[in-house]
Amino acid sequence: MTSVKVKLKQNDIDKIKEICAAHNYEPGELINVLHQTQEYFGYLPAEIQEVISWELNVSAAKVYGVVTFYSYFTMTPKGRYPVSVCTGTACYVRGAENVLEEIKKQLDLQVGETSDDGKYSLSCLRCVGACGLAPVVLVGDKTYGRVAPDDVKGIIDEYKDKD
Amino acid sequence: MDTIKLTIDQQELEVPAGTTIYHAAKKLGIDIPVLCYMELEDWNIENKPGGCRICVVEVEGRHNLAPSCSTECKDGMVVKTNTPRVMNARRTVMEFILSDHPKDCLTCPKSGSCDLQDMAVRLGVREIPNEDIAEISTYRLDTSPAIIRDIDKCIMCRRCETMCNDVQTVGALSAINRGFESVVTPAFEMNLEASPCTYCGQCVAVCPTAALTEKDYTAEVIRALSDPEKTVIVQTAPAVRAALGEEFGMEAGSLVTGKMVSALRKLGFDKVFDTDFAADLTIIEEGAEILDRLKRSANGDENVRLPILTSCCPGWVNFFEYHFPNLKDIPSSARSPQQMFGSVAKTYFAEKMNVKRENMVVVSVMPCLAKKYESQRDEFKVDNNPDVDYSISTRELAHLMKQANMNLNKLPDEDFDKPLGESTGAGVIFGTTGGVIEAATRTAYELYTGKSLNEKVTFEQLRGWEGIRKAEVDFDGFTLKIGIAHGLGNARKLLEEIEEGKSTYHAIEIMACPGGCIGGGGQPLHHGNASILKKRSEAIYREDAGKKIRKSHENPYIKELYEEYLGEPLGEKAHQLLHTKYFDRSTKRQFKI
Ligand code: SF4
Ligand code: SF4
Ligand code: SF4
Ligand code: FES
Ligand code: FES
C-alpha cells in the first residue's frame, strides 16, 4: 500500500490516545479504533498505526494487516478534491470501469493514490444509492451522473483553476 | 469424558468429543493430506486457519466437502476420505494454489524439502489450468543477515504467524492484503531487519515453501576453503551432532559426532573444533558471575540484580534488547559460546599457530539462524574483522557435504582436534532446554560448597519438556532457585514477573527456540513432527552420559587456557574477550513516538 511519511504533533497523538481510551484499550476493538481514527484524520499513515499498536498492545504488523485487508482504510490523505467512482453493480454494468480508466489517465493516479500536490485523490466506492444516475462519479460532495468516458475531461476541467 | 462414535472409510471408531476428523482418521492410520495445518503436539502449538482446503473429506448428509483439520467429529458421522469427488476437489484446490505460485522449482532453495512440492507430487498435479487468470505477485526480496523472505512463494498457510506471534510473542509478522496479493510480512512491509524480529528462525522452521529461508553462506565457506592463504577452522554446536544424521536418512536421535568430524576434515577445514569447548568456557565465566552476584547479594549489596539470566542464546538476546530493554543489565554479560570460541580462536589460538588474524577464517556450524546475525554484530569485530566469519546451519552443512559427494552414513568416526575441540558432558547439554543451567549448576555447586558431586552430576529436576519449569537445588543448606523457559512466549512470562517484582528465582535459563537449540531454526526440518525434537534431546543426554569428564571446570584445556592466557575468570582479559554488553534496541523502531 502506498503511504506517506508524516510527523505527528503532540495533539494528534493525544487524539489517538483518546480514541483508544474510549475503547478501553481493547485489542478486540482494533477495527473500530482504526475506523474512528481515520474518520478524524482522513487517513491512517504508518505513524498513526504505530501509536495505535502501542496503545492497544497489538503488534504493528497486525494493525497494518487489518488496514491493508479492508479497502475502506487508506494510508494516504485524501486530496482537496477527492474523486470517487462508484463501482457498485448498477454503475459497473453501465460502464463505470471505462470511466475509471479515463479518470486514471487524466489524473495520472491509481486507485488509492493522491497527487503529489495534494489536490486530487482517487478511490472507488460501493453503491452510493444513486443507481438511477449510473454510472456515478463524485468529486468532493458534488455528484455527477450518467458519466461517459468522454465527459471525464470536462468534469476535471471544472477544478483546474481552483486550488 | 464424552466420546463420539463415527465411521471413516467404512471403519468404525470412538473418539473423545472435540476430536477433529483429521485426528480421528489418523488413529485409523489414514493419513489425510494437510498443508496449512500444523501441530507440534508436545507444546500445544497448533496452526489451524482452515484456509487451504487440501484436507477436505466427504461427510454424509453435508452438501459441501468438509475441511477435516478443522471439522469436529459428530456422533454417527459417516466420513469418506478418498472418493473421486474428494480427490478431484483436492487436486483442484492444489491447482488453484499453484496457479499464482512461481514455477522455478529447479533452482529454488526449498526444492527437495518443500511441503508444497511434495503435495503436488502426492496429488498427482500434472497441469495448472488457471494459470492464465492468476497473477503471480512480485514483492521484493527481503534479505537480512539471517533470513531471506521471498514472499512471492507465500501460500498463506500462516504457520509463521502462529510461531512468531503466538509461540514467540514477537509480533514481527502479519498477513496483509487480500486475494492473490495476500502474503505475510512485517508491519508496513518494512524489512525484517527493521522489524522486532529476533532471527529465532522458528518461522523458517515451519514455512512449507521457500517464502522464508535462511541466508546461505556455503558459497563463502567454499571460497575460504579453497584459498591457500587462509587457515580455516570450524566449530560445531552441540545440537548439530544430534540432528545432522536426519539429513542423510538416519533415524531422529542418531548421534553422529565422529562422522561429522571426519566430514568436516574431508571438506578441508584445517582444524575441526567444538563449540562445546566454548560452552565449558561459558560455564566458567557465567558460573563465576552467578556466584559473585549471589555472594554480593547475601552481603547486602543493593546494586546486585537477581535473578541472573543466561545469555548464550542470541535470539533471546535480541528479544530482550527489543522488548525488555529496561532489563538489559540482568542477563549475564558472558558472550554466547559461538562468540567466545571466535574471540579465543582469533587471539589465543591464532597466536599459538602463528597465524595473522586476517588470515584466519572461523566458520561455525549452528542449529540456529540468530547466530548468523550475532556473528555480524559490531561488538564482535576487531578492526572490522569478525571473530566468527561465517555461521552456517545444520542444513547448510548437509548441503555442503552432499555437494562434496559425502554420505554421512559411510564416513568413519574421528575425534575433534585439540585444544579447542576438547569438551565435557556439561558443554554438550547446552544443546537442549535445561542444559545450560544444569551445566552451570554442576560447576557452581562445587565452587560454592567446596564439595565434589562425584558421579552425581545429573540434576533430573532441571530436565523436562514443559515450557516453564521451576526447580530447586540444595547447595549444602542454601537453596538455589532456578527457572527455565524455552520459547520466547514462555520467556516473556518470566520477564514480566521480574518487571512486576514478583520473581523469586536466583537464576533463569532462557532459550528462544522450543526445546532449546535442538529445535533451532537451522536444524533439519521437523515437518510438524515434534517427537523428533525429543529424540534429539535424548541423544544429547546420551552423549553427556558417555563423556569421561562431565564438569566444565575439569576440562584440562580450559584450565590450560586460563593458565596460559586468560588469567582469572571475570578478570581483565576474560572480560575483554569473553563478555559483552547489551543495547536498547527498541529505538530500532522506525517511528519513534
Ligand atoms: S517453494 Fe517449493 S514449490 Fe515453490 S518453487 Fe520452491 S520448491 Fe517449488
Ligand atoms: S525469525 Fe523468529 S522473530 Fe523473526 S519473524 Fe521469524 S519467528 Fe518472528
Ligand atoms: S511465509 Fe511461509 S509460513 Fe508464512 S504464511 Fe507464507 S508460506 Fe506460510
Ligand atoms: S451502483 Fe453506483 S450508485 Fe448504485
Ligand atoms: S490443511 Fe485443512 S484447511 Fe489447510
Reported as a single tens digit per residue, the pLDDT across B372-421 is: 999 999 999 999 999 999 999 999 999 999 999 999 999 999 999 999 99
Amino acid at residue number A45: P
Is pLDDT of A34 > 80? yes
Same domain, B188 and B231: no
Chain B 130-169, residues with CB within 8 Å of chain A CB atoms: 165
Q: How far is the CA of B251 from the centre of ligand 1 (A)?
A: 26
Closest to B388 measured CA to CA, from B405, B371, B404: B371
CATH code, B15: 3.10.20.740
Q: Is B185 on the interface with A (CB under 8 A)?
A: yes
- Same-domain status, B128 and B70: no
Contact between chains at B188 and A62 (C-beta distance less than 8 A)? no
CB count within 10 Å of CB A144 equals 18
> pLDDT at residue A116 above 90?
no
In whole angstroms, what is the distance from residue B337 CA to residue B364 CA?
A: 11
CA of residue A125 relative to chain centroid, distance: 9
Same fold, A10-69 and A81-160: no
pLDDT at B287 over 50: yes
pLDDT at A126: 78
Residues B550 and B487 in one domain: yes
Q: Is B21 in the pocket of ligand 5 (CB under 6 A)?
A: no
B222 touches chain A (CB under 8 A): no
B107 within a domain of the structure (yes/no): yes
Which residues of chain A does B593 touch, with a Cβ-Cβ cutoff of 8 Å? 8, 13, 50-51, 54
B330 to each of B119, B335, B371, how far by Cα in Å?
A: 47, 14, 21
Q: Which of B214, B237, B256 is the last residue of a domain?
A: B214
- Find out whether A104 and A122 touch, Cβ atoms under 8 Å: yes
| B260-281 pLDDT tens trace | 999 999 999 999 999 999 999 9
- Same domain? B177 vs B242: no
Task: Give the span between the Cα atoms of B88 and B83, in whole angstroms.
Answer: 9
What does the pLDDT read at residue B593?
36
Which among A13, A61, A64 has the least Cβ separation from residue B593?
A13
pLDDT class of B82 with cuts at 50, 70, 90: very high
What's the whole-number mean pLDDT along residues A13-22?
Answer: 95
- Asked whether this complex has an ipTM greater than 0.90, the answer is no
Task: Name the 3-class secondary structure at B386.
Answer: strand
Domain count, chain B: 3
Homologous superfamily, domain A81-160: Glutaredoxin (3.40.30.10)
Say yes or no: CB of residue B184 within 6 Å of ligand 3. yes
Q: What is the pLDDT, as a whole number, of residue A117?
A: 87
Helix axes of A30-41 and A60-69: crossing angle, nearest 10 degrees: 70
Order of strands, sheet of B147-149, starting from the edge strand that comes earlier in the sequence: B142-143, B147-149, B212-214
Give the containing element (helix H, strand E) for B8. strand B3-8
Query: What is the distance between the alpha carbons of residues B576 and B512, in angstroms, rounded to a whole number?
Result: 26
List, in sequence order, every beta strand (DSSP E) within B237-327. 271-274, 308-309
Ligand 5 atom closest to Cα of residue B33: 1
Other C-beta atoms closer than 10 Å to the C-beta of A25 total 14
Average pLDDT over residues B577-589: 85
Q: Is the CB of A91 under 6 A from ligand 4?
A: yes
B458: number of Cβ within 10 Å: 17
Q: Per the domain annotation, does B533 fall within a domain? A: yes
On chain B, the residues whose CB falls within 8 A of the CB of A69 are: 175-178
Instruction: Give the domain CATH number at B185.
Output: 3.30.70.20
Residue in A126, A62, A103 with CA at minimum distance from that of residue B186:
A62
Buried residues in B347-379 as b, exposed as e (16+ CB within 10 A): bbbbeeeebeeeebbbbbbbbbbbbbbbbbbee
Whether the Cβ atoms of residue B245 and residue B408 lie closer than 8 Å to each other: yes
Q: How many CB atoms lie within 10 A of CB B496?
A: 12
- Euclidean distance between CA atoms A36 and A18, whole angstroms: 11
Q: What are the grid coordinates assigned to B407, written together?
A: 554420505
Residue B131 scores a pLDDT above 80: no
Residue B432 scores a pLDDT above 80: yes
Please state the rounded mean pLDDT for residues A95-112. 92
CB B203 within 8 A of CB B333: no
Please indicate whether, in this complex, the C-beta atoms of A61 and B174 are within 8 angstroms of each other: yes
Cα of B170 to nearest chain A Cα, Å: 8
Q: Is the pLDDT of residue B428 over 80?
A: yes
pTM: 0.89
Ligand 2 centroid distance, CA of B146 (Å) = 10
CA B559 – CA A108 distance, rounded (Å) = 73
The predicted pLDDT at position B587 comes to 64
User: For chain A, what are the domain ranges?
Assistant: 10-69, 81-160
**B76 and B105 share a domain?**
no
Atom of ligand 1 nearest to the CA of B112: 7
pLDDT score of B524: 97
Cell, residue B408: 554421512
State percent of chain B over pLDDT 90. 89
Lowest average pLDDT, out of B315-319, B365-369, B391-395, B588-592, goes to B588-592
Q: Do B187 and A51 touch (CB under 8 A)?
A: no
CATH topology of domain A10-69: Arc Repressor Mutant, subunit A (1.10.10)
CA–CA separation, A34 vs A37, rounded Å? 5
- Residue B38: pLDDT above 90? yes
CB contact at 8 A, B473 and B480 = yes
Q: Is B587 on the interface with A (CB under 8 A)?
A: no
Across residues B294-308, what is the average pLDDT? 91
In A4-154, the DSSP E strands lie at 81-86, 120-125, 137-139, 142-144
Name the minimum distance, in Å, from the CA of B186 to any CA of chain A.
Answer: 5
Domain boundary among B214, B240, B274: B214
pLDDT at B236: 98
Helix axes B275-298 and B435-449, enclosed angle (nearest 10): 50
User: What's the CATH number where B543 sits?
Assistant: 3.40.50.1780
CB contact, 8 Å: A12 with chain B?
no
What's the whole-number mean pLDDT along residues B515-521?
A: 96
CB burial class (10 A; 0-12, 13-18, 19+) of residue B2? Answer: exposed
- In the structure grid, which three cell numbers stand for residue B587, read together? 529505538
How sure is the predictor about B288, in pLDDT bands with cuts at 50, 70 and 90?
very high
Domain check: are B319 and B362 in the same one?
A: yes
Tell me, using a 6 A CB cutoff, whether residue B233 lines ligand 2.
no
Report the catalytic residues of B.
286, 289, 312, 332, 371, 374, 379, 517
Residue of B253 and A129 predicted with greater confidence: B253
Q: For residues B223 and B225, what is the distance between their CA atoms, to the nearest angstrom?
A: 5
pLDDT at B51 over 90: no
State how far Cα B516 lies from the chain centre. 7
Provide the pLDDT for residue B173. Answer: 96
B245 with B141, same domain: the answer is: no
B469 vs B152, B459, B489, CA distance in Å? 40, 13, 14
Interchain CB contact of A106 with B (< 8 Å): no
Same domain, yes or no: B29 and B110: no
Three cell numbers written together for B532: 523428533
| Ligand 2, pocket-test mutation among B197, B215, B588, most atoms within 8 A of CB | B197
Decide: B167 in ligand 3 pocket, CB within 6 A.
Answer: no
Lowest mean pLDDT among B98-107, B211-220, B423-432, B502-511: B98-107
Q: Are B69 and B34 in contact (CB under 8 A)?
A: yes
Query: Crossing angle, helix B488-499 and helix B314-323, to 10 degrees?
Result: 50
In the prediction, which pLDDT does B134 show?
Answer: 67
Residue with cell 541466508: B215
Q: Are residues B180 and B307 in the same domain?
A: no
Q: Are residues B242 and B375 in the same domain?
A: yes
A88 C-beta closer than 6 A to ligand 4: yes
Closest CA–CA distance from residue A150 to any residue of chain B (Å): 30
Instruction: Report the percentage of chain A scoring pLDDT > 90.
Output: 68
Q: Is the pLDDT of residue A72 over 90?
A: no
Interface probe, candidates A48, A59, A63, A76, chain B, greatest B C-beta count within 10 A: A59
Please choose, from the candidates B273, B439, B434, B254, the residue with its C-alpha nearest in 3D space to the C-alpha of residue B361.
B273
Residue with more model confidence, B40 or B203: B203
HEC assignment per residue over B473-489: EEECCEEEEEEEEECHH
Both B11 and B72 in one domain: the answer is yes
Average pLDDT, chain B: 94
Average pLDDT in the A66-78 region? 88
**Domain carrying residue B28:** 3-82
Q: Give the pLDDT score at B590.
A: 45
pLDDT of residue A1: 60
